[in-house]
Amino acid sequence: MIIINADRKVNLADVEQEHLTYYKKKLVRKLDTLISKKGLHHKKVYRYLKDHIEEILIGKPRVLKGIIEHMITVLMIEFDENTRKHALYKILVKIFNYSNFVDRYPPSKWGAYQFVSRLNVKVCPYCNRQYIFMICETKGKTRGKLDHFYDKATYPYLALSMYNLIPCCGICNSDLRGSDPFTVDTHLNPYMEDFGGLFKFSVAMKNGDDLRPGDTSQIDYLLGVGDEFDIVIKDSCMDLDLKQRVENNLSVFKIRELYNMHKDYVVDLIKKRVIYSDTQIDELFKKYGGKLFASREDVIATIVSNYVTDQNLDKRVLSKLTKDISEELNLNLV
């Protein structure tokens, strides 16, 4: 998994302000109307939601966790298949109207299309395997799906919470995640965390040998029938809670299984490493530096046809895999 806005070129505070400006007054007005009604049940719930509307709309994932805990432990509000039939649930779904949000297209002031566009997320942060470009034209519209990190069916009051809306691909959102319960204590939220340097893709040779960078004898071995190795996740993490959360993400989104369908991509990386020695890379940078390449990193990115630094992993598919395997092959940036 990769982090959203890794290069920090998008100011999330600006997106927060747009989201808050559009929704705060509208939601407060709806809640005030309910609070003013005589004899209406659950006024404490509506008052709490009104008093914490900013935290609900733009609170970080752990702030949202606190909202959930207060609703459950103090206000005794928890929704399941049975309680979703109650009037309160239906009212909250209507107040925090997600359907209206996803159906709002430009030139409307704010909606799902504007939100995804402002975040400038190009690749699914959950899997880093699918592009999620946005197009919004009169005769054709498409954008990344929006996954609710905290399930909106269980927490309807978080249906419009900015940091609960994860732009992602349809495979991760619908085919794999479904309604699996996520929390910040069980899974990684890509606004806050990624696999980083502690969890890396690696090549595991099925005969038990280590991958030896630059050793051409292994190329024939790898190209035999194409499955003499596995793509695995190696970790150097000492934090057991983090390890478990990463494992939960890997399991839900079938990362190991899906990435082992990209063995041909790894074989291409290995071949490129054999073809391009460190000396050749240095010579290319010396010859074309300042013209085609701004840095040695640019040379390597061109050779492997992908980005190889953390701040660019959200710009192209399979970039995390490329970076990790390139490092394993000793494609040094310096």
> Two tokens at 241?
């809670």
DSSP letter string over 19-46?
Answer: HHHHHHHHHHHHHHHHHHSTT-S-HHHH
Q: What is the pLDDT of residues 50-103, one digit of tens each?
A: 999 999 999 999 999 999 999 999 999 999 888 888 899 999 999 999 999 998
Question: Exposed, middle or buried, 11 (CB in 10 Å: 0-12/13-18/19+)?
Answer: exposed
pLDDT, mean over the chain: 89
Q: What is the pLDDT of residues 133-178, one digit of tens each?
A: 988 887 888 888 999 999 999 999 999 999 999 999 999 998 888 7
Residue 122 predicted with pLDDT over 60: yes
Q: Quote the percentage of the chain above a pLDDT of 90.
A: 64
Q: Is the Cβ–Cβ distance between 314 and 6 less than 8 Å?
A: yes
Q: Is the Cβ–Cβ distance between 202 and 154 less than 8 Å?
A: no
